[in-house]
Chain A
């Protein structure tokens, strides 16, 4: 692959990452705002702490759910950066770093499981 097409691939991946980050932030902010508004409007006195199973499953009111999912979407934005870099470095045939980024992604997935057990 030529140096130019490597560079344009890189520039393209940067553009994609910026779009991903911006959209992720907007969606997260909208969800959080909506959740806060709903929570206040519902007249509920107490806000609860949530964990993953509550967030997507169980017994939780809509305001809390919107806010938690907003936080979750926000947390996914750095993950999206890591995934984009795995893709870029794979396409650039930079094996060492594609593997490195994959290891980081695996550790991030592990963090979801680890707290749960604790």
Chain B
């Protein structure tokens, strides 16, 4: 049960607008904003916050897809193969969320926030951290390669156009079991915490399977929506989705994402990122305290 009024719609939508805007601007958005905001500011049960976030993840993923499908970088054969693992993970995560206590869930989420803040901070000091690219995955802003790329049929391989090398670079994906294992973990994280899971999937493909980072990021984008759905269905079936909450936040995200893409050119992204890292750390600390049972204003 959720008390509602026009004010509540606007408040939830504002959360969505922030998440959508930040997602387009700096690539950190979705679950990391929505879940803590709903839990800490509105005192909403974390499981409803997570399911709301999953709806948002699907929305941003499909929105990005409606623009970027066919640009060639994502290897959908690879993505679909790993999706077998991530969707099973998503179901596991969703089921796990229905069984473990909300405080434990909040504690795990707090840990994730601190980890993300740390990765982002590190990514900011190195010129091209994998965290930065994985962050872009969350926004759905995969880098479009000028001449795109291709995937081979019948196997897990493909190529992409590398400007620096002036031609197509071929790659083959190897170590599938390792990649699948990490993808399963990413699926569980997605189902449990309402996040896209890109920050696990992209390194899984890039580092464990030898897939070039641009292809991994684009493919990760493609995968995120499918994974979110696998756990979202579990939440819906378990009666843990609040359509009012989900609808208000998602409508906000659409507005925010549009505003974010428009403002992207002029926004001082590094400052925004820095502020965000600080906020995430503070919110993460607050989540942890809440999980332990201390309520800090």
Contacts and interface: CB of A to CB of B under 8 A. Distances in A.
Contacts of B217: none
Contacts of A10: 70
A104 B86 CA distance: 9
Given A32-B251, A78-B62, A104 B84 contact: yes
A104 B87 contact: yes
Contact of A114 (B234, B241, B244): B234
B153 A107 contact: no
Interface in B1-46: 1-6, 9
Interface residues of A, number: 62
Nearest to B94: A115
B230 A29 contact: no
B67 to A, nearest CB: 8
Contacts of A68: 241, 243
Contacts of A85: 76, 80
B106 interface: no
Contacts of B243: 32, 35, 47, 49-50, 64, 67-68, 70-71
A108 B62 contact: no
Contact of B2 (A40, A47, A82): A47
A115 B238 contact: yes
Interface in B243-267: 243-248, 250-251, 254
Contacts of B230: 107-108, 111
Contact of A115 (B1, B84, B236, B246): B236
Contacts of A50: 236, 239, 241, 243
Interface of B: 1-6, 9, 48, 55, 58-59, 61-63, 65-67, 69-70, 76-77, 80-81, 83-84, 87-88, 90-91, 94-95, 98, 153-154, 222, 225-226, 228-248, 250-251, 254
Given A17-B70, A49-B243, A85-B80, 9 more contacts: A52-B236, A70-B243, A75-B55, A75-B236, A78-B225, A79-B226, A108-B229, A110-B91, A115-B237
